[in-house]
Chain A
Amino acid sequence: MIILLNKSKRRGSHQMNIDVALKSQKAASKTKAVRKKYQYVAFLYIAPWLIGLFVFQLYPFIASFIYSFTDFTMLKKPSFVGLKNYIDLFTKDQLFLQSLKITFIYVIIAVPLKLAFALFIAMILNIKLRFVNFFRTVYYMPSILGGSVAVAVLWRFLFMREGLVNKVTSIFHIPAVDWLGNPKIALYTISLLTVWQFGSSMVLFLAGLKNIPSELYEAARVDGASKPRMFVTITLPLLTPIVFFNLIMQMVHAFQEFTGAFVVTNGGPAKATYLYGLMLYQNGFQFFKMGYASAQSWILFAIIMLMTMLVFKSSEYWTFYEDGGDF
């Protein structure tokens, strides 16, 4: 517009000046209107997602924060109790620390195992094989089914005393183990269920492996490097950004784990798999202590936040980016 105005100024005609200015204004407002219309359509397109975000995430998110300061029981009107829920959790509730401890153990076992297993399978599937795409699909399957109750039920049947696992080991005369009934073992069995859902991490590792330039391996081979050596000095460092990403995602997920422990052992035996999520559920839906459960969920949120920040901070020392990794 300024250019137009300048132009008309040079021509020296005042009237024209106004005309052009008006015209350009009109044109501008027209494009504005069009843009507005497009924006409106765009919003319409993303509306389902936006509504989902507001109704199913943002609203419960805020509501639970407010409820965490009340004695909300779902059926009665909540009344404000200040920090009582938080204080009770830390000072009175023995199960709180117990379930936190179990959850940390679970995260420490399940996440590294899952990542290692995902990487292992990704390495295998990275080998040029016939039907490799078929295998990649097959190996991804457990992840699609993974979170479902059906798989957890299957797990129960596999690992119960009369289950398939004990049947197979009995062939080798190994005595039957109570994989889920023994308080000392049950948590590991539940962790295995998580490890089995390695698919999404595996796909990311696979993509990462494909991105590593083959020249590096060729050069290493020329220099006479062994396979393990190549893995340690080429593959692993170049995969660290993906390890980092997977670590964060899986850790966040593992802290919130619920389905497996709920369906397979329901927190038992003798509270051995009483994960934090289960305690939260029990308080909220079995004992009607929604306010208390909300406080619990915010503590979990803070813990996950803190752990994620720690991993982020530590990543400076162990992730490696070819381009320097400024992010």
Chain B
Amino acid sequence: MKRAMRLISTLCIISILATLFIGCAKEAPKTGTDSTQQAAADNKDKTDKKDAAPKNVTMRFSWWGGDSRHKATLAAIEAYTKKNPHVKIEAEYGGFDGYFQKLTTQLAGGTAPDIMQVDQPWLPSLTSQGDLFVDINTLKEIDLSAFDKKFLDSQLTIGGKLQGLPTGLIGITMFYNKTAFEKFGISADTQWTFDNLIEIGKQVHEKDKNIYLLNLDINKYDWIMKAIVKEKTGEQWVKDDYTLGFDKAILVEGLTWIKKAVDSGAVQPFEEMILYDKKAETNPKWVNGELLMNINWPSSFERFTESVANKDAKWDVTAFPISKDAKKSGVITRAAQVMCINKNSANISEAAKFINWMFNDDEAILILEDVRGVPATEKARKMLTDSKKLDERIVRATEVAIKNSGDPENGPTNDPELLEIDRDIIQKVGYGQLTPEKAADELIQRYTEKLAELKAKK
């Protein structure tokens, strides 16, 4: 009896240990992860087993977005797996907040998904850490003919490698509540400038204390501040040689806009806004229709307008301000998101096939519509326009933004540590802790130190 008990308990422990080990076991890294080799090997596999059923594969695909994007992407995955029953795709999706941290942790731990949606500004800092994504140019499975080669080369090729494919083209625009604009007597044809945003914002708030013209979070203040500065300098925010692209006097102008916006009542006080930073569409005032305008990418249009409680409100899109005497436009245009394939994926070939399908197949184009911005391929744009699946407002806004576009932002400008300094300084001004002058001093001092550090690392 005793012996039996001992035997049972030993077995139990061993089984516990076994599961523990299995849980811990990391997928064995493939040897020779060079993607060309891999692709070649896979192709060889294919020819060898032409008649045999394709091998079952399970891939992981991660993205961020709102409900409409989630629904469309899940539908696309279902359609693809129905056609390719040997493929199983596990979807990992959620909001934007925290996505980057999760992704970097996964990349570091070797548990990153096979297919990843990555934001374009992250590419310089991610790729400087190592060879993380498959060079799309080396993949025979993907047909690149539909893409604008110039765009791929200038914006998504780093170190001679095409890091991923653009889901769409986007440029900064402004959404506004047409119904509320009519109520407040604001003309839909208003040519917006940085100054009249504040003037009209002030009038709106004076008419109704509960209402603010603009729904901005810190990132959007950052856009405006940088746009004002770039218009004056005609330079990158941080130049390619890691020096500042502006001086104090110009920076003060950018920071003063923030102070003016807060003081005039054109924007909500920082105290009320800050909790909804990075998720401005969940701001209760936005949901209640008490914030009339948002500055954002066209790809966020649906997410933002859908979250407003009053479904009768009409929405439209207008152009981001450009001053008449601007040396260069502050409008940023770039890839909406980038679809990358994990270099350490065991299923590079299958992942590439899926991506090719997503971008080039008629069915996929019609399912995914414009949930990731106006598609980057001419073919998809034409198909969606013909079938009236593209929101005319979004197309118009994107076209205007691209027409008004400034230079694409360089890598140093989007360094996460520098962006964190921006966030700090913007809050200090927004909360009135520092005057724009003092804040400019602090920003320049901290930037100078950090840039020296970043340059040394290069």
Which of A's residues lie within 8 Å of B, judged by CB? Answer: 41, 44-45, 47-48, 51, 55, 71, 73-76, 92, 94, 156, 160-162, 178, 180-183, 265-266, 268-271, 282, 285-288
Contacts and interface: CB of A to CB of B under 8 A. Distances in A.
A194 B434 CA distance: 31
Given A75-B130, A270-B424, A285-B101, A181 B270 contact: yes
A83 to B, nearest CB: 16
B245 interface: no
A75 B284 contact: no
Contacts of A182: 271
A94 B431 contact: no
B130 A286 contact: no
A177 B274 CA distance: 14
A270 B272 contact: no
A73 B105 contact: no
Interface string B251-282: 00000000000000000001111110100000
A107 to B, nearest CB: 23
Contacts of B6: 41
Main secondary structure, interface of A, reads: loop
A250 B281 CA distance: 38
A41 B6 CA distance: 9
B43 interface: no
B101 A269 contact: no
B431 A183 contact: yes
A232 to B, nearest CB: 42
Contact of B431 (A74, A270, A287): A270
A287 B418 CA distance: 10
17 contacts: A41-B10, A45-B9, A47-B13, A74-B107, A75-B132, A92-B449, A161-B284, A180-B275, A181-B273, A181-B274, A265-B275, A269-B270, A270-B427, A270-B428, A285-B101, A286-B100, A288-B129
Contacts of B433: 183, 270
Interface in B120-146: 125, 129-130, 132
Contacts of B9: 41, 45
A48 B271 contact: no
Looking at A55, A73, A156, which has the most chain B CB atoms within 10 Å of its CB?
A73
Given A44-B13, A92-B449, A286-B100, A161 B272 contact: yes
Looking at A76, A271, A286, which has the most chain B CB atoms within 10 Å of its CB?
A286
Contacts of B10: 41, 44
Interface string B432-458: 010000000000001001000000010
Interface string B103-129: 011011000000000000000010001
B427 A76 contact: no
Contacts of A94: 446
Contact of B104 (A74, A156, A162, A270): A74
Interface in B1-37: 6, 9-10, 13-14, 16-17, 20, 24
Contacts of B277: 266, 268
B312 interface: no
A122 to B, nearest CB: 34
Looking at B16, B24, B275, B433, which has the most chain A CB atoms within 10 Å of its CB?
B275
A224 B417 CA distance: 66
B24 A55 contact: yes
Interface residues of B, number: 39
A269 B271 contact: yes
A73 B126 CA distance: 11
B431 A73 contact: no
B420 interface: yes
A181 B271 contact: yes
B416 interface: yes
Contacts of B100: 286
Contacts of A162: 284
B107 A75 contact: yes
A150 to B, nearest CB: 15
A282 B16 contact: no
A19 to B, nearest CB: 32
B198 to A, nearest CB: 22
Given A44-B13, A73-B129, 14 more contacts: A48-B13, A51-B20, A74-B129, A75-B129, A160-B275, A161-B275, A178-B272, A181-B272, A183-B433, A265-B275, A268-B277, A271-B424, A286-B420, A288-B125
Nearest first, the 4 A-B pairs at minimum CB distance are A74-B108, A75-B129, A181-B271, A178-B271
A156 B130 contact: no
A209 B306 CA distance: 56
A223 B13 CA distance: 60
Contacts of B24: 55
B96 to A, nearest CB: 13
A286 B272 contact: no
B23 to A, nearest CB: 11
Nearest to B424: A271
Contact of B275 (A73, A156, A271, A287): A156
B17 A48 contact: yes
Interface string B389-426: 00000000000000000000000000011001000100
A75 B133 CA distance: 12
B400 to A, nearest CB: 34
Contacts of A75: 107-108, 129-130, 132
A258 to B, nearest CB: 13
Contacts of B428: 270
B189 to A, nearest CB: 35
B129 A76 contact: yes
A288 B417 CA distance: 10
A74 B109 CA distance: 8
Nearest to B101: A285
A45 B129 CA distance: 42
A286 B101 contact: yes
Contacts of A178: 271-272
Contacts of B273: 181
Looking at A51, A180, A268, which has the most chain B CB atoms within 10 Å of its CB?
A268
A44 B119 CA distance: 48
Nearest to A185: B271
A268 B218 CA distance: 12
Given A162-B284, A287-B416, A181 B275 contact: yes
Contacts of A41: 6, 9-10
Contact of B427 (A55, A161, A269): A269
Contacts of A156: 275
A47 B20 CA distance: 11
Nearest to A93: B449
